[in-house]
Amino acid sequence: MGRTFMEGEAFVANILSGQRDFANIEVEMNLHLRYCDRYEELREYLMNADLKEAPLVLKNSRLTGLEAHDLQLPYLQAEGADFGHSAIYNVNMEEGNFKAARFTYARLCNSTFRRCNLEGADFRAADLHLVYLGYCSLGGADFESAMLEYTNLEGSDLRGLQNLDRARSVATANFQFAELTEAEKVHIRAELWQQMGKKRRLFGGTG
């Protein structure tokens, strides 16, 4: 199915008008939301909207190069969406569905993905500095060359995570109470010892 192109100003206006279904759209490339005329109105609207009952839907949509800061976007339904090369800072996207979504080369610093479905998501070369990925499902997600500097993965199901051995700054990430295979635990312990020359309690319990 082809995607329907949408200008940035129209995208913002449609959200503010109450539209929720934006599946299979292609938003103009490199859209900087903060430069849209109604950006502050959008921030206020999203802060007060009941997105649990009526979430925004971006299934299979393309938002390449999107720049979004300081927004409330919980419960977002974005299965298969493309956020490649985006800059998404300090955005709350907890309890969303991002199964098989693409975040390659995205900068997601300080954003929150608490209790999200991120199975099969593509985080190759993404910057996950200070990103909260706690209590998520991440089986099959690809972390090749991803920056995990102080990324919080507490309580998440990481079994089957791809290319953790090729991620960066693994030793600084929080894996407390995460579900991991023994091979993944071995790699994380080795990274910690190599980069920091010391041991610490990594996984909760006897980890």
pTM of the shown model: 0.92
- Whether the per-residue pLDDT at 206 is higher than 70: the answer is no
For residue range 109-140, list pLDDT tens digits in order. 999 999 999 999 999 999 999 999 999 999 99
- 186: which 2 tokens? 């071995």
* CA-based nearest residue to 65, from 88, 45, 46, 44: 88
Q: Which residue has the higher pLDDT, 73 or 185?
A: 73
Q: What is the mean pLDDT of the chain?
A: 92
Which SS3 state, helix, strand or coil, does residue 41 take? helix
